[in-house]
Amino acid sequence: MSVNLDNLDVVFLLDKSGSMNEQYKPGQTRWKAAQETVTALASEMASHDKDGITVVPFNDRFTIEDNVTPATVGNIFKNHTPGSGTMLAAPLQAVIDKFIPAPAPASKGGFLSSMFGSKSASPAASAVARKPVCIVVATDGAAGDEEQVITTLVNATQRMQSDDELGILLLQVGSDPNAEKFLERVDNQLQKRGAKFDIVARCKLEDVEDKSTVELLNLAFTA
């Protein structure tokens, strides 16, 4: 699919582990490079989504920052500083639950239901139209909960009816070979573990710095 920025929710999972303080380029840390990327996304989406984007800083804990606009990006980077390790599964699960909630269990009809029919709406009638969701995960290292990350992503695909509902871009910040291998394993394991759709793509930040927002977000849906 080609993303329509007017009909897209954008979520940025921001690694704030201690290694994000390491150099990305001369005179620039990985943390600063991530800030530039978040600022560019928020600036572009401001004219397409009045609610802004969602940013989720994470290390061994996470917070969900909604309604992030160009004016508030700086506050996130003032209020969060890199430290500790990288645990990705919990924030990823929280974001998936927020934007692609699990279907409600079917109601169990009793005697009266069998006699008079259930008044509950059909799945099609009760379904709520949602925007497609693009999750960009910017990280510079291998997460300590790899198995849980893979399981979370596989389970997310079981909630989906089509592959254009959710796209995830694993964006490597820096050149740590362990991070590259981790992202490669996550990308390659999904369908081996029974994923319904291939929802993950990966690339390095340095390879997309010259791409437009549309081009960057499109990568998440072209796995």
Q: What is the pLDDT of residue 124?
A: 42
Rg, the chain, Cα only: 19
Q: Do 202 and 187 form a contact (C-beta atoms < 8 A)?
A: yes
Q: Which residue has the higher pLDDT, 12 or 191?
A: 12
pLDDT mean across residues, the chain: 91
Mean pLDDT of 153-162: 96
Domains of the chain and CATH, by start? 5-101+131-219 (3.40.50.410)
Q: What is the pLDDT of residue 2?
A: 85
Q: What is the pLDDT of residue 117?
A: 53
Q: What is the pLDDT of residue 203?
A: 97
Short-list 176, 175, 167, 181, CA closest to 218? 167
Compute the half-sphere exposure of residue 121: CA atoms within 13 Å on the CB side of its CA: 7
Q: What is the pLDDT of residue 223?
A: 63
Q: What is the pLDDT of residue 146?
A: 97
Q: What is the pLDDT of residue 130?
A: 85
Please, which pLDDT band fits residue 108 given cuts at 50, 70 and 90?
Answer: low
Q: What is the pLDDT of residue 126?
A: 41
Q: What is the pLDDT of residue 121?
A: 44
pLDDT in tens, 38-52: 999 999 999 999 999
Short-list 60, 158, 56, CA closest to 103? 158
Predicted model pTM: 0.89
Q: How far apart are the first and last CA of the chain?
A: 11
Q: What is the pLDDT of residue 30?
A: 98
